[in-house]
Amino acid sequence: MQKKVVLFMLCVLLGLPVFAQKNYQNFKVSVYTRAYEVEKMKDLHWLDSTWNIISSQVKVDKIYLETHRDLLIVPQSTIDQAKKFFSDRGVEVGGGITYTVNEANNFETFCYTNPEHRKKVQEIAEYTAKNFDDFILDDFFFTNCKCDLCIAAKGKMSWTEYRVKLMTEAGEELVIKPAKKVNPDVKVIIKYPNWYDHFQGLGFDLEHGPQIFDAVWTGTETRDPSGNQHLQAYLGYNVVRYFDNLRPGFNLGGWVDSGGSSMGMDRYAEQLWITAFAKAPEVTLFAYNQLIGTRLRDTHRTAWQGQGTSFDWNEMMEPVNINGKEVVPTTLARAAGYTFEKIDQFMGKLGKPVGIKSYKPYNSNGEDFLPNYLGMIGMPMDMLPVFPTDQKVVLLTEQAKYDEDLVSKIQAQLRRGGDVVITTGLLKAIPEQIAQIAELRCSDLKAIVNDFGRYGVSEKDILIPQVLYYTNDAWETISAGRPLTGGVSGFPMLTRAQYSKGNLYVMTIPDNMGELYDLPAGVLNSLRQVVGRDLDVRIEGPANVSLYVYDNGTFIVESFLNEPVTINVITGQATTKLNDLVDGSVINAYKPLDAPATTTMFRMPTTPVSTFKVTIMPHSYKVFEKK
Ligand SMILES: [Zn+2]
């Protein structure tokens, strides 16, 4: 703090602009520029006027200049001019490559089997390394080629096997090694997109990639959650943590584009702050063209504005003075700048993210992207590529079936006195192995349910798989049925079987994962309690409210609902107050009227807790410190 004040005084005394001395305190902000726009930078007037639009609305630490996309290679003289322009303005410069032949043709990539394509890929890497000390490979360093050369070379391998082998080799031999030969100091960074569960099918190799490249970058673009990629908003947080867990400390940034802004500018802002909440050290704005071309329009103002939301449209639209001249906001760049200014106020107070440990073996799939749905129902996720051995609870989805030694690891966890929560997807995938612990089954039988007894009623019918068990060897702790509409009861939502000193739980996942959001609060509260035992805070309330937990007593609750919501925050009894790190207010613990739901068959250990009532505005967050 002292330093900042001194710096400020010095600037004032010397007549220097104060703004030039300081960008955001808690994260770096960068802009990625496609080859199309870098190519336009040969026109200095265009460059100066467009950069002015961006830099007058958001503070930028670094710019990435792409050398290649869709076979467009930016000429040397233009790269030289652009590098000088940004360096002269104190903006750090890095490079970028998009290895597409034609992005517009179903994301046509290079063919890494074809010798001519391979030569081109290497030349582009060398050209870029000659110009920059670091460069990022945007999204497309995978292959979807099925030409006759690829078909012949694949032979009897699966496409996944062939492509993973091919792309790992291409990364080392065509990109990393040639680049370092030209520029031994160059850092080659791979940016992975948001579709992580499907990577291996296209050749992205999360086992070796993060090790052979100098660092990774993370696509946190979630845009429309109901679109074809099933991009739940929570993915933006989860995927940053997961990629960091692949090689801790080497996930250097998150990456957001304007795709969500068509749903309202709040959706764009949410992606930016979620990326920062996951502690990505740098937030990259994709891309230069969107920051100048996406004009702020009234249609970007959402229906729930005017209630004091975290993204406040009217406040964002106020004139701003960033580089010495007051401007009225005109483009997407200001939405980004405004969002960063708000979160920079408290980001420095958050610790290291922690969550419910969920084991995803390398290059596995099954119940694709489920942890993001669990994040949306208030379970803080922390996916990692090894089975953790220091947790009270380990969560296993269907993907864990890729580990051939899984059962012995589950048994060891239970013998230690820990719990293991598996999903119905995993039970169905490896019934014989799970039977070593408890003879449970999950077949193709389904049930339509809407009534969860003391845990509440859902407004919609939910289709679930049936879990079967031997009576008295296991028991359902949350049961579901359909008595309201004439059906029968007694299908497990949560099943418990004891083994040694621990418990194996089966969590029933609806056939449509999105129906997790229709479960009543009572069911969600109990699931959060069982799965979240390693964390010192949890929430009670409906779905579409997420919780982010840090290791220093701070946490964030965020609502993705379109209307205000009141939830309970549950902490240990030692906490009596919550300090709001955004507005400085204090919330005191209260005594809830209703005791938490329990059944005679199943009783959670009743450790004393403190309960806090918290109201969150639509699409907004609250940041707390426990006191
Ligand atoms: Zn091919």
**pLDDT one-digit tens code per residue, 282-321:** 999 999 999 999 999 999 999 999 999 999 999 999 999 9
What element of type H or E holds 442?
A: strand 441-451
The pLDDT, as a whole number, for residue 122 is 98
pLDDT surpassing 90 at residue 97: yes
DSSP bridge pairs for 451: 457, 481
**Other CB atoms closer than 10 Å to residue 259's CB: what's the count?**
18
CA distance linking residue 586 with residue 567, whole number of Å: 16
pLDDT surpassing 50 at residue 371: yes
The pLDDT, as a whole number, for residue 10 is 54
**pLDDT one-digit tens code per residue, 428-478:** 999 999 999 999 999 899 999 999 999 999 999 999 999 999 999 999 999
pLDDT surpassing 80 at residue 411: yes
CA distance linking residue 267 with residue 300, whole number of Å: 9
CA distance linking residue 145 with residue 77, whole number of Å: 33
Measured in Å, residue 164 CA sits from the centre of ligand 1 at 14
Which pLDDT band, with edges at 50, 70 and 90, does 335 fall under?
very high
Report CA Rg, the chain. Answer: 26
Which pLDDT band, with edges at 50, 70 and 90, does 16 fall under?
very low
Q: What is the mean pLDDT of the chain?
A: 94
Query: What is the three-class DSSP state of 12?
Result: helix
Model pTM score: 0.94
CA 597, distance to chain mean position in Å, is 32
Closest CA to 543 of 423, 368, 382, 374: 374
Measured in Å, residue 135 CA sits from the centre of ligand 1 at 25
The pLDDT, as a whole number, for residue 603 is 52
Closest CA to 86 of 72, 68, 65, 67: 65
pLDDT surpassing 50 at residue 19: no
Closest CA to 281 of 29, 32, 63, 55: 29
CA distance linking residue 464 with residue 181, whole number of Å: 56
Distances (CA, A) of 449 to 167, 425, 465, 543, 597: 46, 18, 10, 18, 20
Rounded mean pLDDT of 200-225? 96
CA distance linking residue 205 with residue 250, whole number of Å: 16
pLDDT surpassing 90 at residue 8: no
Measured in Å, residue 147 CA sits from the centre of ligand 1 at 4
Measured in Å, residue 110 CA sits from the centre of ligand 1 at 8
Measured in Å, residue 111 CA sits from the centre of ligand 1 at 4
Measured in Å, residue 123 CA sits from the centre of ligand 1 at 18
Measured in Å, residue 71 CA sits from the centre of ligand 1 at 17
Measured in Å, residue 213 CA sits from the centre of ligand 1 at 24
CA distance linking residue 355 with residue 382, whole number of Å: 5
Q: What percentage of the chain reaches a pLDDT higher than 70? A: 94
Which pLDDT band, with edges at 50, 70 and 90, does 594 fall under?
low
Q: Could you tell me which residues come within 8 angstroms of residue 257 by beta carbon, excluding any fewer than 6 positions away?
A: 221, 223, 286, 287, 290
The pLDDT, as a whole number, for residue 595 is 56
Measured in Å, residue 153 CA sits from the centre of ligand 1 at 9
Measured in Å, residue 175 CA sits from the centre of ligand 1 at 18
Measured in Å, residue 216 CA sits from the centre of ligand 1 at 26
In the DSSP assignment, the letter for residue 471 is B
Q: Hey, what amino acid is at 96? A: G
Rounded mean pLDDT of 31-40? 98
The pLDDT, as a whole number, for residue 474 is 96
The pLDDT, as a whole number, for residue 225 is 85
